[in-house]
C-alpha cells in the first residue's frame, strides 16, 4: 500500500474501538464518520459497528487507519493507494473547518463535523474505505470517476446522500482519484491481516506513491497455506 497523496502523516494504527484517533489522544466516532452500516449484508448480526465492517474476522483480520494532511502548498491531487473497488459513495454535507494539525490536536470529532466524500468498498483483504475531508476554503472536492458528486452544498438541505457505484469502478495502485482546491485530509480505514506493518511515523512527510505499509509476506503465505489445507480458499495477489 502506498501514500495516496503528498502530505503529513497525522496518525495511523489499528482501530480497536468504536472511536478512531485523528491525532494521538483526540478521537472521532467511527460510525459517525462512515455512517450507518447499510452497504453490505451483516451475517454476524453483531451490534459492534467496528466488527460489522470486517469481511474476514474469522481469519485474524482487523481494522487499520491512516490520516494524511495535505497542506495548502502540497500537490493537491489524490490517488489510489492500492488495488481496490469502491462500490458506494456517501457525501456528508458539513462544516469547512481547518483540518491543520494544530486544530486536529484539540477539536475532537473534527472529521465528523466537516464535509466529506466517503468511498466504501473492498480490496483483497476485505473492507476498504477512502475519505476526502473538506477544509477551510476547500469546499470543492472533485472525484474523476464520480461525476454526480456535488460538494460545497448547504448541509440542512442534504445532510447525507448515498449512491451505489455498482461494479463499474476498479482502481489500481497510483490511479488518479480526484483533487482538492487546496489542502485538506485523506483518511483511509481498511481491513487487513494482523501482521500488516506500517512503514511510516506520525509527523512524517510523505509523497504520493511512497510506501505506507505492507502485509508480512511469509506470515500471509503461511495463513493462506493453512486455510487451503482446511478446505478454505482465499484469492491472493501480490501483497500491497
Q: Supply the residues annotated as catalytic.
A: 6, 79, 184
Place of cell 456517501: 90
Question: Pairing mode, if any, of strands 7-15 and 61-70?
Answer: antiparallel
Place of cell 484469492: 235
| Cα dihedral value 167, 168, 174, 175, nearest 10 | -160
Number of other residues whose CB lies within 10 A of the CB of residue 66: 23
| 62 Cβ contact partners less than 8 Å away, ≥ 6 residues apart | 14, 15, 16, 54, 191, 192, 194
40 Cβ contact list (under 8 Å, min separation 6): 55
Cβ neighbours for 44, distance < 8 A, ≥ 6 positions apart: 51, 52, 57
DSSP code of 171?
B
Within 8 A by CB and 6+ apart from 53, the residues are: 34, 37, 63, 127, 189, 191
Q: How many CA atoms lie within 13 A of 196 on its CB side?
A: 25
Amino acid at each position: 500500500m502506498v501514500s495516496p497523496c503528498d502530505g503529513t502523516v497525522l496518525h495511523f494504527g489499528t482501530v480497536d474501538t468504536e472511536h478512531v484517533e485523528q491525532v494521538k489522544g483526540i478521537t472521532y466516532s467511527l460510525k459517525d464518520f462512515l455512517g450507518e452500516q447499510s452497504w453490505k449484508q451483516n451475517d454476524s448480526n453483531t451490534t459492534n459497528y467496528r466488527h460489522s465492517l470486517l469481511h474476514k474476522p474469522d481469519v485474524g483480520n482487523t481494522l487499520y487507519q491512516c490520516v494524511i494532511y495535505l497542506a495548502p502548498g502540497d500537490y493537491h491531487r489524490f490517488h489510489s493507494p492500492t488495488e481496490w473497488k469502491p462500490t458506494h459513495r456517501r457525501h456528508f454535507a458539513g462544516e469547512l473547518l481547518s483540518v491543520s494539525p494544530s486544530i486536529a490536536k484539540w477539536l475532537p470529532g473534527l472529521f465528523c463535523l466537516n464535509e466529506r466524500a466517503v468511498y466504501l468498498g473492498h480490496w483483497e483483504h476485505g473492507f476498504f474505505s477512502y475519505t476526502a475531508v473538506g477544509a477551510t476554503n476547500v469546499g470543492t472536492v472533485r472525484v474523476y470517476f464520480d461525476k454526480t458528486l456535488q460538494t460545497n452544498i448547504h448541509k440542512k438541505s442534504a445532510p447525507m446522500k448515498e449512491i451505489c457505484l455498482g461494479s463499474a469502478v476498479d482502481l489500481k495502485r497510483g490511479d488518479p482519484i480526484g483533487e482538492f482546491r487546496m489542502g485538506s485530509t485523506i483518511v483511509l480505514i481498511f481491513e487487513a491481516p494482523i501482521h500488516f506493518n506500517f512503514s511510516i511515523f506520525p509527523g512524517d512527510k510523505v509523497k504520493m506513491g511512497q510506501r505506507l505499509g505492507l502485509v508480512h509476506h511469509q506470515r500471509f503465505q503461511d495463513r493462506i497455506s493453512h486455510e487451503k489445507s482446511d478446505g478454505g480458499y482465499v484469492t491472493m495477489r501480490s501483497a500491497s
